[in-house]
Amino acid sequence: MSILTDAMSKKITFSQAAAEIGVWGQKLVAKDPALTAAVGQVMSDAKQAASNAVMLADTSLAAYITPAASALEASLDAILAKATGGISVPFNPLINDGIDTIAKTIKAEADAWALKAKASLSSQQG
């Protein structure tokens, strides 16, 4: 299987794939110093692009979490009020706080993933 196929099927990690691609590239261009430098620059640019993509994904996710949580809260408040004949309305703040806590946890996990992914990319530099 190819390095890319292995990475996509999670048989190897992104870091392992990057390392294997680097070794493969070094063997391929070892006899040409100009090509070696060009491949090194391409690898550096690819790692930076991957890092930028990770941060963009994390930033984009943040833009959706709060509005989604707010919409869920409003919908759930209305559904419960109708289903209970209004008895649930005093509990709306408690329910909404629970939804907010879940949304904050999702965002924190996304931030942690982004930091881990960026660290993995950084460890592959050079």
pLDDT tens column, 39-48: 677 777 777 7
User: How far is it, in rounded angstroms, from Cα 38 to Cα 43?
Assistant: 9
Q: Is the pLDDT of residue 56 over 90?
A: no
Nearest to 115 by CA among 58, 43, 71, 67: 58
pLDDT tens column, 78-112: 998 999 999 999 999 998 999 899 888 888 888 88
Q: Which residue has the higher pLDDT, 13 or 72?
A: 72
pTM exceeding the 0.85 threshold for the entire prediction: no
Q: How confident is the model at residue 74 (pLDDT cuts 50, 70, 90)?
A: very high
